[in-house]
């Protein structure tokens, strides 16, 4: 294995410092998104949000079906297409 010289160690330190900064930024973004998820949708975890999304998807499908049926009924009643 290659022995590290002073420049290699300085480069490694720089890489480590940049990784620490990036990690802190990502943690801050995650916290902000989780707060927004809670405030906007009342979900405290990603799992809760996934369940809510599934439920909302089913509700949307139900509403779309009702709209399609209503449109078909109107077209039939008023003999339009």
- pLDDT by residue (tens digit) across 57-70? 999 999 999 999 99
Nearest to 55 by CA among 66, 63, 65: 63
Q: Once rounded to an integer, what is the mean pLDDT over residues 29-42?
A: 98
Structure token digits, residue 74: 């109107």
pTM: 0.71
Q: What are phi and psi of 2, to 5 degrees?
A: -70, 135
pLDDT of residue 4: 84
Q: Once rounded to an integer, what is the mean pLDDT over residues 1-19?
A: 92
The residue assigned the tokens 């990784």 is: 19
């Amino acid at each position: 294995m290659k022995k590290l010289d002073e420049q290699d160690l300085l480069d490694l330190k720089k890489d480590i410092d940049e990784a620490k900064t990036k990690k802190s930024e990502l943690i801050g973004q995650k916290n902000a998104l989780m707060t927004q998820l809670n405030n906007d949708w009342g979900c405290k975890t990603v799992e809760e949000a996934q369940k809510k999304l599934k439920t909302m998807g089913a509700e949307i499908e139900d509403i779309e079906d009702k709209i399609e049926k209503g449109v078909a009924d109107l077209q039939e009643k008023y003999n339009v297409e």
